[in-house]
Homo-oligomer: A and B are copies of this chain.
Amino acid sequence: MESITVGQFDLIYNSFSFTIAVMGAATIFAFLGRSQVGPAYRTALTLSGLVTAIACYHYVRIFNSWEAAYVLTNGKMTLTGVPFNDAYRYVDWLLTVPLLLVELILVMRLSSKETIAKGLRLGLLAALMVILGYPGEVSATTNGRWLWWILAMIPFVIIVYDLSAGLRASIDKQPDSVKSLVRTARTLTIASWCFYPIVFIFPMIGFTGGNATTAVQVGYTIADIVSKAVFGVLIYMIAIRKSEAENYAGSALPAATK
């Protein structure tokens, strides 16, 4: 842990609190939205809400751990000696990243066989990616960070390739009204995911001390909000439009679309 300024401490502190509110709101949005979509899409919204609920729980823990790690003494932030627990992010990702991928697959409503095969494959690759990233995050040396970063990038690249190439045929089979939305969801997933390995290398490319801590914590927080909460809203919109296309009675869009 590095020494940081009062301004940096507050920025991170307020980002964490903001994220608790965002994740909690996204959870309620997803769960309430379930009744507005056809039965086939409800599990996707359930998973969307679970992802943000799990993230909300972990941001409460992260917030508390952050608060316990520093104390304001004579106008300066000093370390209390209680270490800030970086592991909360990784146990969060271990659960939520596979769920996010399954959520994307479920909303596409592929065949049962394809759903299970793609879900298992992407879910396991995502878990492997997170597990390989953690030793790097807590590594004391820059070389250690690079080694595990490179190892974690192997499943990462396979997942991104699967999402961009492997899902193309499935996207082409989607109704016209949602094709572009599904493409956006996929692009958002890939783009927000690319954020993580970039944030990870901040301390290796010149950010030091409080600047490194701030860049990493705020960076991961923004990436989490986009890849979980914003992504959840897209999944909801896809589910609503597909329910409409399939003439599900309860699914009238909030906005008149014709």
Contacts and interface: CB of A to CB of B under 8 A. Distances in A.
A83 B28 CA distance: 32
Interface stretch (A108-116, A184-192, A212-220): A108-116
Contacts of A81: 72
A115 B254 contact: yes
A44 B254 CA distance: 8
Interface string A215-244: 000000000000000000000000000000
Contacts of A36: 39, 42-43
How many copies of the chain does the oligomer comprise?
2
Interface in A2-59: 10, 14, 17-18, 20-22, 24-25, 28-29, 31-36, 38-44, 46, 49-50, 53-54, 57-58
Interface string A104-136: 001001111011100000000000000000000
A256 interface: yes
A165 interface: no
Q: Is the interface of A mostly helix, strand, loop or mixed?
A: helix
A95 B21 contact: yes
B111 A257 contact: yes
Contact of A255 (B87, B111, B257): B111
Interface of A: 10, 14, 17-18, 20-22, 24-25, 28-29, 31-36, 38-44, 46, 49-50, 53-54, 57-58, 61, 72, 81-83, 85, 87-88, 91-92, 94-95, 106, 109-112, 114-116, 249-257
A91 B18 contact: yes
Nearest to A102: B254
Contacts of A92: 21
A98 to B, nearest CB: 12
Contacts of A21: 54, 57-58, 91-92, 95
A116 B29 CA distance: 18
A254 B109 contact: yes
B28 A49 contact: yes
